[in-house]
């Protein structure tokens, strides 16, 4: 059993220059809620579903502006094509394993039809946003264990407040740099200009990429320091893995600006040691709930607030450091896990990590 887990700030490492929100989580963005359903069954089922609701659960009637970015496309977020085309998000966002994208999409359609029977007749159809990573090292993915009730449970459990991290929801079977990882989150309060204006930005990741030798914490190559202790572990080698990142903000930015903001998330992923290897998917979905676009609009014009492009730089910087910290939180909060085919994935050893960080504290 792993030692008591801690988030990375509890180890004394503060990433970046901006202050986190009260919870240091994506739910610091007002109106955002997160829910999980975790499946751990027998010796070979290690998977689940994570749900992100962008707008107090009513994103169908009050759509939010959306965007995204694909750094490397050996992965999938179904529905992202329409989001990029329209610049709108109108469904919750689900995260799960690779072979459960279809089931999650179908289940979310069913869930929304039950809540909104006007879909497909009085109103247009919806295309759910469902992101995936491959958890087949720990999870018998061919069992396709995800069912409607698991999607429903994740959606119904979505709340504001603290977000469970590590071996939960869609992150249950996920691995990062040969250590157990999964779901991680972080946030920043970002001042803009000189008039006291500030906005909140949060990131949630389902992290499942990389190799131990490349792992970095705050620029320190900790993976190289830890690797000699793990030579006896059998590691996945044919699958570099992937990461899906969700970035949310209450800053009034448009869909083009959200695309640009999402690109900076990729820089944060790179800071932790990713080089976006072959077979890897690094896909980002972004949204702002500062503006909403009602499904039914009287008249032909909707008026939206928009931050000047020249004021975006602090948000760009915050996106990078928030992403980096979210990934590190996923690693620090995850516990050891055994699973399919007798595979064992260790949690990153916080005691040894603490020593490394303390030795380098003057450099951080």
The domain limits of the chain are 29-352
| Cα torsion angle, 323, 46, 154, 127, sign | positive
Distances (CA, A) of 350 to 126, 150, 342: 44, 32, 24
CB neighbours of 231 closer than 8 A, spacing ≥ 6?
none
Its CATH architecture, for the domain 29-352, is 4-Layer Sandwich (3.60)
* pLDDT tens profile 219-268: 999 999 999 999 989 999 878 899 999 999 999 999 999 999 999 999 99
Which of the residues are catalytic? 242, 280, 282
Residues in the chain, pLDDT under 50: 1-2
User: Tokens 């459990």, residue?
Assistant: 157
- pLDDT at position 1 is 41
In angstroms, rounded to a whole number, what is the distance separating the alpha carbons of residues 351 and 354? 5
- pLDDT at position 194 is 81
In angstroms, rounded to a whole number, what is the distance separating the alpha carbons of residues 326 and 301? 38
List alpha helices for 116-228, DSSP H.
148-156, 222-226
Residue 344 burial (CB count, 10 A): 12
Three-class secondary structure of residue 277 per DSSP:
coil
Q: Give the strand pairing for 77-78 and 88-89.
A: unpaired
- pLDDT at position 3 is 65
* pLDDT tens profile 124-180: 999 999 999 999 999 999 999 999 999 999 999 999 999 999 999 999 999 999 999
């Amino acid at each position: 059993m792993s030692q008591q887990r801690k988030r990375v700030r509890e180890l004394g490492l503060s990433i970046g220059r901006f202050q986190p929100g009260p919870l240091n989580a994506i739910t610091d963005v007002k109106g955002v809620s997160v829910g999980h359903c975790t499946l751990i069954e027998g010796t070979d089922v290690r998977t689940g579903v994570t749900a992100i609701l962008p707008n107090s659960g009513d994103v169908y009637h009050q759509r939010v502006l959306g965007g995204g970015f694909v750094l490397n496309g050996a992965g999938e977020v179904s529905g992202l094509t329409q989001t990029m085309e329209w610049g709108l998000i109108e469904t919750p966002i689900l995260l799960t394993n690779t072979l459960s994208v279809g089931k999650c999409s179908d289940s979310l359609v069913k869930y929304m039809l039950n809540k909104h029977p006007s879909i497909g007749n009085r109103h247009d159809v919806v295309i759910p946003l469902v992101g995936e990573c491959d958890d087949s090292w720990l999870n018998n993915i061919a069992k396709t264990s995800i069912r409607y009730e698991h999607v429903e449970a994740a959606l119904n459990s979505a709340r504001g407040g603290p977000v469970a991290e590590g071996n939960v929801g869609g992150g249950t079977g996920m691995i990062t740099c040969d250590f157990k990882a999964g779901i991680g989150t972080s946030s920043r309060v970002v001042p803009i200009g000189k008039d006291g204006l500030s906005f909140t930005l949060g990131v949630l990741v389902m992290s499942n990429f990389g190799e131990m030798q490349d792992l970095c914490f705050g620029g320190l190559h900790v993976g190289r320091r830890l690797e000699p202790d793990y030579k006896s572990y059998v590691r996945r080698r044919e699958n570099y893995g992937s990461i899906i990142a969700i970035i949310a903000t209450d800053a009034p930015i448009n869909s083009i600006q959200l695309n640009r903001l999402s690109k900076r998330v990729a820089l944060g992923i790179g800071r932790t040691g990713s080089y976006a290897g072959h077979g890897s998917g690094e896909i980002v979905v972004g949204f702002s709930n500062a503006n909403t676009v009602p499904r039914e609009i009287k008249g032909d014009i909707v008026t939206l607030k928009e931050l000047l492009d020249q004021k975006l730089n602090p948000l760009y910087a915050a996106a990078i450091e928030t992403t980096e910290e979210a990934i590190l939180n996923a690693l620090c909060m995850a516990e050891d896990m055994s699973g399919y085919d007798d595979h064992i994935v260790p949690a990153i050893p916080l005691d040894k990590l603490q020593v490394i960080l303390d030795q380098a504290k003057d450099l951080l």
